[in-house]
Structure 1
Amino acid sequence: MARRALLLMVLLLVPVLVASQDEALFDYHALDLEMLITNRFELVASSSGFYANSVSALISWYPRDDYRQEAEYISTVPEADFEDGKGFFFEWQKPSKTSFLIEQSSRIKAKNEIQKITGKVEFPIEELDPYYSDYLVPMEIIDINDDIRSLASSLAKGEDDLYGVVFNLALWVQENVEYDLSTITADASQKASWVLKNRKGVCDEITSLFISLCRSLGIPARFVTGISYSNVNLQNDGWGPHGWAEVYFPGYGWVPFDVTYKELGYLDAAHIKLKDSLDAKEVSVNYSATGSNLEIKPGLLNASVTVLSHDYLVRPLLGLSAEVVVPETGFGSYNLLIVTVKNPNNYYLATKVALANVKELDIDGSPFKQLLLKPNSEQKVYWLLRVGSRLDSRFIYTFPLRITGERGEQAETRFKAERDGKLYSENYMKLFIEEEQAEQKPYSDFLILNCSASKSKLFLDRPVTINCSIKNMGDRTLRNLEVCLGNDCVSSMLAAGALANYTYSRRFDTIGVKNLVFSAENELVESSYYMVLESQDRPLLEIINITYPKSLSYDAQSQIRFFLKKKSTNAPKNVVVRLQHDFFEERWEIGELSQDYDFTVAIRGDNFRLGQNRFNITASYDDEEGHEYRMREEVFITLDNPTFWQKIMVWLNGLEHKINNWF
């Protein structure tokens, strides 16, 4: 019998997972890549009399530098102006042609690197730099509705570790939303709410839903556009446009999460980041033209990538060990594979492990397991196995079990089965599965929590009213229900079908994004609602560094120069700057003051009054509530020693000014 058993074991080893050559591209630590982006567009006459004064195009796609990617060079044809964060600006003055081709070539080194989060980041994020508040706002595609909020809250239940919450959100999207290129979504980007309802989408839409879930919990997240390699769609040698997400971890920065590729907290080296944005619908090329009777016919943005070289295969980061509950079973019996995954590193690792399929052995559930390991920790994963019941009774079967990690980690074990072997039930094997999840409270699904604030943005030390409600949709009375907004808690009773309202007042003495948690819990239920408020300082600007001559002769010229500086975190709105003199005025409309401005105004002595001339520099602006503010500075310049005839000219100038004002 021993010889026959050995023969069957060798035959059963054949189906173990074998990596293809294409898959090896994902497994290199670093790739040297050459990328060419091209775009052809045309001017089209809309009617007779067509002509063009100028044509321009702004390409916002270009390789970005970050912790895992570096552009060694970027060049364009024709030559273009570059502005960091915006892209390459191409311009043609009085063009004689109507067809335009622009090219951007670059060489990039991309790495398969973990963004190392070495310590626990508390969830919810109670204090967030207001700079990141834009990454919490619902957008056209990355929208947020009650269903998204409810799902996100349920997935975050009981978690106080930000990485754990983000991992749970990503895992749910992976397991519950189908990647489907056959739908209309391949050409038309759908809203995150649509994706949640229909449970299908392409990479952009799957990513949009993940970002929406994050934002609904007060977790900043943004959309990333780039190029990646896929061995599923081999058009263009497998390289094509792709979308993934980045999530902000306070104290660490932006961390990549590619839910479509199941790469959480890292990216393989075959990802090229080209742009990040607030929404998934931002265009990659902006065209403009001046002239008459013309239209722009945009063209597709095409990208091709060549792999120039690579370094070593990624190295194992985890330890794997495997065992089975029983070494021998009978035909038709259950067995349990227990794999211990150990993270010896001082940072979080989200990883996948896979069990190779073995003939005549059924795996209950997916052969893939995805898990999050905290620094210097270990976890167990389980596969429930069942031996085929119709095996040849003449043989003893040996089942080899091989487990692999995504960075080459491996573990092996085996067990035997024969006709007269002992039979083990499914329930018996489940006794060996350690319960690592928190106790579930199914009645929580009948509890609906909601909150709204009188304002989503408020000024420091200004109160905001928060109205919250709890609806008991079940058939049981909830007693000793602890209802809290943060640490402000009361004990309540909520009858079946009842609605309870709670009103709170809050004020904040520090600026930033505030994540408030409204929760309800007793022995039957545990539910939370997350709400984001932004505390702002009042907008403030100042007029500084004013330079001007103390005096000026009648026939001389000079200038007044000054700077407008934003002093607050909150940007002043509807900014209007004026320089006023009795005889003239300069005026500038800025809108929102997001940066400092430098003003230089030419002045001439023949526009002055006799003696001392006063110049008023004023800046008026609004806050988000429509309140108006005004800043003013004065400078005085003396008309220096005018002659008799110059005095007459000054007097006539003043007279003309008065007459004009009368009419």
Structure 2
Amino acid sequence: MYNWRDVDKVTYGYTSEIERKIKPVIITSKELYPFDITLVTSEVRKYLQPTIHVDSNHPKIQELARNLAKDEEDLWKLVVKTALWVRKNVPYDLNTLTAEATQKASWVLENKKGVCDEITALFMALLRANNIPVKFVYGVSYTNNPLVPQNWGPHGWAEVYFPNHGWVPFDPTFDQYGWIDAGHVKLQESDDPEVKSIQVTWRGKDYQVNLGNINYKAHIKQSGNVYNSNVEIKPTVYLTQTGLDSMNLIIVNVKNKNNYYVATNLMLGRVNEFEIIEPRENFVALSPGEETQIYYTIKLKPGLDPKYTYQLPIIIYNEKNETVQTSFTANKQSTKLDYSDINKAKAILNEESIKPLSETIKLNCDAPKIIRKYENPTLTCNVSSDGTYYFENANVCLFQTCKEISFSTNEQTTFPLILKTGKHDLRITFRHEKASKSQTITVEKMDIPELILENIKNPKKVKANELFNLNFEITQKSYAPPKNLSVQIILPKKTQVMTIENFNQKIPLKAEINSDELRSGTNKLYLILEYDETSKKETIIIEKEGYGALEEIFYGIGNFFTSIINAFTEVFS
């Protein structure tokens, strides 16, 4: 209580230091839905009733709640499914703060927007409509959202009742399902968002009191460690190499390695060279030990330079910033995927998880990794099972080419490989009414290496004893890179040799030459490329201003003595 006398304006408040230690509520076993609500206490049952803002008796809310609960027997998964529906369909919108009061859940459902109190109110209404007790929690929370520059502010979230575990926190605004972080400071709980944690009353004679805004100022003094989700995330790509302007499918296998339920939001990182078609993020709710598979569809942006091969990273991360990566490459020679290809790929992958005997099938296909220009090898596929079922009239397909097989333990089939130059992801599928399996192997069809010399730049005339540069570029015109590449620059008096390793597409080179290595007058220089038992030659003409006949005499004498020295060296060696 505060007391003032004879004041026109006063600012008051209090300071507290709060230590928050958060431990997630561990739900290790399935709780059935629906449960017998008569077995819970009257104190819990009061959080089932409709209120002013949680109007769970509204017909549209009840209809949506029934659809969400249809065929769901797992209470935890139904609560998460409800939170995800609200999260995906009701964006956070600060414009609703301009309203005179918090909007009802039915208004939020109708208008598809709201702030934390209103988003939570709709979440609560849908749960209460499905006979699940839920309470509103009011407090302050920390956020790094740029819309909240002071980082701390009032916030509302929910606690849901689980018969065997008690009250479990859920924050659909912050994507925290079954847990909340230590930045949530709880001040009060109620059955409706309208009840606030701070109420002001006053007593006095002949006073008119006008209340100003309540301001929160907070900062973090110390923070601890973030809980590891212990969720295994393994991303792969449908094609490890695609054409330019192609689509691709990102496949992520997710496994809950905990002995309790978890929910996580997996997001695909943005990359300049491609756009994310669908979705930007995937919410995954997993029971103990459960595995699932999620997908992201991407499309390369137009305008990528066909002269280059692009290495494109795939980055998957969650709300705790746990990150995994893979990558794929894109160039003009490789296969292009469109929407129909992506849909077919998803259908086959989904079949594997649905059909009952998919786990019994092993598909092992093999082919040479490198295929030379005039080679036409075969792809060999072995399909095996444990022998408990006879797979009759099954199909093994390489893209659209299919072969029918029947077996109980093992069968082999082959496909001829007639491919264009470039790297190819060969997608092989086994399909039967009881099982499906797919495999991708990568092969590379080579052509004959071809290089060209271009952009040769040299002076037309040089003076005696002058240093000058010979500049040129080597460009790869073929798909196959050269092997054993060397460059010879043959001068009248000397030969320079360059050995080039790890050649890639194009390389600029520069040779420094002393004009004393030329003869006076007109000189022919030869630029020779040698690689893969192939050679290419370019002739360069340079005029040297020199000493004329006298220089040639000295040059001849020098060659004479050099020959004598070389002869003696050979004899004595």
Query: Same-fold call, TM > 0.5?
Result: yes
After superposition, the Cα gap between the structure-2 partners of 1:430 and 1:288, relative to the gap in structure 1 and judged at 3 Å, is same
The one-letter amino acid of 1:140's match is I
Contact 2:187 2:197 in 1 (8 A): no
* Cα distance between partner residues in 2 of 1:172 and 1:317: 25
Letter in 2 for 1:412: Q
Q: Identify the match of residue 318 of structure 1 among 231, 237, 245.
A: 231
1:277 aligns with 2:187: no
1:327 & 1:430 partners in 2: Cα distance? 18
State the match for 2:27 in structure 1. 117
Structure 1 residue 410, shift from structure 2 partner: 2.4
Compute the displacement of 1:362 (Å). 2.2
Task: Name the CA shift for 1:406/1:286 in 2 (closer, same or farther; >3 Å).
Answer: closer
CA distance in 2, matches of 1:287, 1:413: 56
CA offsets 1:307-341 (integer angstroms, 9 cap, x no match):
11122344352111111122122122222111111
Give the alignment partner of residue 138 of structure 2, picking from 200, 218, 225: 225
Give me the whole-angstrom Cα distance separating, in 2, the residues matched to 1:282 and 1:429: 50
The SS at the match of 1:341 is strand
Q: CA deviation at 1:301?
A: 3.1
Give the aligned residue type for 1:118: T
Amino acid at match of 2:92: Y
Q: Is the 8 A contact 2:188 2:196 kept in 1?
A: no
* Alignment partners' CA distance in 2, 1:193 and 1:184: 17
Q: Is the 8 A contact 1:336 1:384 kept in 2?
A: yes
CA shift, 1:176, in A, is 0.7
Structure with greater proportional strand content? 1
Query: SS of 1:269's equivalent?
Result: coil
The reply on whether 1:407 has 2:317 as its aligned counterpart is no
Offset of 1:233 from its aligned partner?
4.6
Distance 1:388 1:101 in 2: 57
Does the residue aligned with 2:67 lie in a helix, a strand or coil? helix
Q: Name the residue aligned to 1:427.
A: 340
After the TM superposition, which residues 56-95 of structure 1 pair with which residues of structure 2 at under 5 Å, given as runs? 90=1
Match of 2:84, SS?
Answer: helix
Matching of residue 136 in structure 1 with residue 48 in structure 2: yes
Give 1:394 deviation, angstroms: 1.1
Q: Is the 8 A contact 2:97 2:115 kept in 1?
A: no
CA contact (8 A) 2:169 2:177 kept: yes
Deviation at 1:161, TM superposition (A): 0.6
Name the residue aligned to 2:426: none
* Superposed displacement of residue 411, structure 1: 2.0
Q: Does 1:309 align with 2:222?
A: yes
Provide the residue aligned with 1:249 in structure 2.
162
- What is the distance in 2 between the residues matched to 1:120 and 1:413? 34
Q: Which residue of 2 aligns with 1:160?
A: 73
Of 252, 257, 281, 1:344 maps to: 257
Matches within 5 A, 1:538-557: none
**For residue 133 of structure 2, what is the amino acid of its counterpart?**
P
- Partner of 1:359 in structure 2? 272
Corresponding residue for 1:603?
A: none
How far has the Cα of 1:256 moved from its partner?
1.2
Deviation at 1:376, TM superposition (A): 1.4
What amino acid sits opposite 1:280 in the alignment? P
Task: Answer yes or no: is the 8 Å Cα contact 1:334–1:425 preserved in 2.
Answer: yes
The equivalent position to 2:93 in structure 1, one of 162, 180, 205, is 180
Structure 2 match to 1:602: none
Quick one: structure 1 residues 190 and 234, their matched pair in 2 at CA, closer, same or farther if it must change by over 3 Å? closer
Q: Distance in 1 between matches of 2:50 and 2:311?
A: 55
Go from structure 1 to structure 2 and tell me whether the alpha carbon gap of 1:119 and 1:227 turns closer, same or farther (over 3 Å shift). Answer: same
Amino acid at match of 2:45: S
Q: Identity over aligned residues, as a percent?
A: 38
Matches of 1:436 and 1:123 in 2, distance apart? Answer: 28
Which residue type is aligned with residue 120 of structure 1?
A: K
Q: CA deviation at 1:138?
A: 0.7
The 5 A counterparts of 1:505-654 are: none
Q: What is the deviation of 1:137? A: 0.7
Q: Which amino acid aligns with 2:239?
A: V
Q: Does 1:368 align with 2:368?
A: no
Cα shift at 1:155: 1.2
Aligned counterparts of 2:353 and 2:130: Cα–Cα separation in 1? 20
Q: Contact 1:236/1:304 (CA < 8 Å) preserved in 2?
A: no
Q: Any gaps of 5 or more consecutive residues in structure 2?
A: 355-573
Residue 230 of structure 1: how far off its partner (Å): 2.1
- Displacement after TM superposition at 1:249 (Å): 1.0
Name the structure 2 match of 1:10: none
Matching residue's letter, 1:403? I
Q: Does the aligned pair in 1 maintain the 2:138–2:196 contact within 8 Å?
A: no
8 Å contact from structure 1 (residues 185, 202) kept in 2: no
Q: CA deviation at 1:169?
A: 0.9
| In structure 1, C-alpha distance between the alignment counterparts of 2:251 and 2:309, rounded to whole Å | 23
Superposition deviation, residue 290 in structure 1: 5.7
Distance 1:194 1:118, change over 3 A: same
CA distance in 2, matches of 1:215, 1:318: 31
Aligned to 1:508: none
Q: What is the TM-score normalised by the length of structure 1?
A: 0.49
Larger Rg belongs to: 2
Contact 1:318 1:409 in 2 (8 A): no
- Aligned residue number for residue 193 of structure 1: 106
Matched, 1:333 2:246: yes
Structure 2: which amino acid aligns with 1:351? T
What is the letter of the counterpart of residue 244 of structure 2?
F
Q: Which residue of 2 aligns with 1:107?
A: 17
Once the two structures are superposed, what CA deviation does each residue of 1:354-374 show, in whole Å capped at 9, x if it has no partner? 111122212222321111011
Give the Cα separation in 2 of the matches to 1:227 and 1:428: 48
Matched residue SS, 1:215: helix
Do 2:274 and 2:301's aligned partners in 1 also have CA atoms closer than 8 Å? Answer: yes
Deviations 1:255-289 (A, max 9, x none): 11111111111112211111111111114344445
Whole-angstrom distance in 1 between the partners of 2:148 and 2:244:
46
Conservation of the 8 A alpha-carbon contact between 2:160 and 2:169 = yes
What SS does the corresponding residue of 2:51 show, helix, strand or coil?
A: coil
User: What is the distance in 2 between the residues matched to 1:381 and 1:316?
Assistant: 18
Q: Distance in 1 between matches of 2:229 and 2:203?
A: 57
Farther-moved stretch of structure 1 (138-147 vs 300-309): 300-309
The count of aligned residue pairs is 348
The 3-state SS of whatever aligns with 2:220 is strand
1:202 matched to 2:115? The reply is yes
Q: Distance in 2 between matches of 1:401 and 1:423?
A: 18
1:112 shift after superposition: 4.9
Q: Deviations over 1:578-601 (max 9, x none)?
A: xxxxxxxxxxxxxxxxxxxxxxxx
Shift of 1:147: 0.2
Task: Return the alpha-carbon distance in structure 2 between the equivalents of residues 310 and 344 of structure 1.
Answer: 26
SS in 1 for 2:249: strand
